[in-house]
């Protein structure tokens, strides 16, 4: 009984190490978005490597049934890894564990068999308690089948049972604990995204524009800033009503978004005005981008509540972004170019 109690002390330490490590790794790799099966490749690989290192560490505190058969907590980080980050991470985790724990051992062969069975159910796609119960059943069944020939005394049976029960408990703690962290991180980034988006047009708002400006400045040595204004928008609201006006805003935003490239940024600046960050320091390329948008909007057919068609045009002003000036100062420069487009007949692009 004394040995059982001592083994429970070791199990408690392993629970703490496992849970604390997994939570820390998860938060560390969720700095800019929730870690998951669609996260960047390097994050999934790194999480797998870290989980593999934890599994190898847990493999040191063993309850041996024989020289080649033993109990440890090694499967816990591997199971959590495959559930929350996917197959690639658990493969990386197993490779690390494989090289750190003797490579072609009986235990590693058992572990790879368990991982293969669990991956068959693709738990990262259907992460729920039913799939988790299947994974736990696989782990316990494999361990039971391997250990049956070595259960010669009540002491060994009690210690084996303690390991199985505590492993089960720890798996549930880690699964639900990390699940709670996952939901928290996902909700945090959802709220952050919502706070930087314009609710109507699903473009960025001023806050989102400022956030993405930093990324554009980091990745591009030079870029353009354009102001877009819908011509005679007040007349649209007065003639067709605000519902049609909102529809015009949404459709103009969608058209502009389709004309932009991956690194370009579109933001609603207020009312019927939009700001565009164009990921090119070439003034000619910036004007070409604005002209694509202008022509696309001009060729789009809008309809009122009665289904009658009408046309909308936009005016644009574009300037190369000056790093020495603030965002507001650069907007004022582009706004001056926009004013020239309006005073010269609208439905045109002016560059300064």
Measured over the CA atoms of residue 278, residue 284, residue 289 and residue 295, the dihedral's sign is positive
For the entire predicted model, the pTM comes to 0.61
Residue 6 pLDDT more than 60?
A: no
pLDDT at 78: 87
DSSP characters over 316-336: EEEEE--TTS-HHHHHHHHHH
* Pairwise CA distance, residues 58 & 73, whole Å: 6
pLDDT at 209: 87
Q: What is the pLDDT of the chain when averaged over all its residues?
A: 84
**314-320/224-230 β-pairing:** antiparallel
| CA–CA separation, 175 and 169 (whole Å) | 10
The alpha carbon of residue 14 and the mean position of all alpha carbons in its chain are separated, in whole angstroms, by 30
Comparing 281 with 95, the larger pLDDT belongs to 95
Interval 209-246: pLDDT, tens: 888 887 777 766 788 999 999 999 999 999 999 999 99
Q: Which residue has the higher pLDDT, 175 or 331?
A: 331
Per-residue confidence (pLDDT) for residue 108, from 0 to 100: 78
> Could you read off the pLDDT of 63-112 as tens digits, one per residue?
666 666 566 678 888 888 888 888 999 999 999 988 888 777 777 788 88
Phi/psi-derived region of residue 63, left when phi > 0, alpha when psi is between -120 and 50, beta in every other case: beta
**Ordered domains of the chain (ranges, CATH):** 2-195 (1.10.1760), 206-351 (3.30.70.270)
Please, are residues 290 and 324 in contact by the beta-carbon 8 Å criterion? no
Residue whose C-alpha is closest to residue 123's, from 34, 27, 37, 19: 37
Question: Which helix H or strand E contains 234, and what residues bound it?
Answer: helix 233-240
CA-angle at 322, arms to 317 and 324, nearest 5°? 145
CB atoms within 10 A of CB 317: 26
Q: CA distances (Å), 194 to each of 142, 167, 208, in order?
A: 46, 40, 9
Give the tens place of pLDDT for each residue, 332-352. Answer: 999 999 999 999 999 999 998
Residue burial 233-246, b: 16+ Cβ < 10 Å; e: rest:
beebbeebeeebbe
114 — alpha (psi -120 to 50), left (phi > 0) or beta?
alpha
- Measured distance CA(141)–CA(155) in Å, rounded: 21
């Amino acid at each position: 009984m004394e040995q059982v109690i001592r083994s429970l002390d070791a199990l408690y330490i392993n629970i703490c190490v496992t849970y604390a490590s997994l939570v820390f790794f998860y938060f560390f790799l969720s700095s800019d978005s929730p870690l998951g099966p669609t996260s960047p490749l390097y994050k999934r690989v790194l999480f797998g490597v870290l989980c593999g290192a934890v599994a190898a560490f847990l493999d040191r505190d063993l309850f041996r049934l024989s020289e080649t058969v033993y109990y440890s907590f090694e499967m816990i980080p591997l199971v959590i890894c495959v559930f929350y980050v996917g197959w690639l991470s658990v493969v990386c985790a197993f490779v690390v564990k494989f090289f750190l724990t003797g490579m072609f051992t009986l235990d590693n062969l058992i572990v790879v068999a368990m991982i293969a069975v669990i991956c068959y159910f693709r738990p990262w796609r259907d992460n729920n308690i039913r799939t988790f119960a299947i994974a736990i059943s696989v782990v316990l069944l494999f361990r039971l089948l391997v250990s049956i020939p070595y259960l010669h005394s009540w002491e060994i049976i009690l210690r084996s049972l303690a390991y199985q029960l505590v492993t089960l408990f720890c798996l549930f703690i880690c699964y639900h604990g990390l699940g709670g962290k996952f939901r928290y991180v996902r909700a945090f980034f959802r709220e952050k995204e919502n706070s930087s988006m314009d609710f109507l047009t699903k473009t960025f708002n001023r806050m989102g524009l400022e956030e993405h400006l930093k990324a554009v400045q980091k990745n591009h040595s030079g870029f353009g800033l354009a102001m877009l204004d819908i011509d005679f928008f007040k007349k649209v609201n007065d003639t067709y009503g605000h519902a049609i006006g909102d529809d015009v805003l949404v459709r103009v935003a969608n058209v502009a978004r389709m004309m932009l490239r991956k690194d370009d940024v579109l933001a609603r600046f207020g009312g019927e005005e939009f700001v565009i960050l164009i990921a090119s320091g070439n003034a000619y390329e910036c004007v070409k981008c604005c002209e694509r948008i202008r022509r696309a909007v001009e060729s789009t057919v809008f309809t009122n509540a009665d289904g009658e068609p009408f046309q909308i045009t936009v005016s644009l002003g574009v300037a190369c972004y000056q790093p020495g000036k603030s965002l507001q100062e650069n907007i004022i420069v582009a706004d001056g170019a926009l004013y020239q487009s309006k005073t010269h007949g609208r439905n045109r692009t002016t560059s300064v």
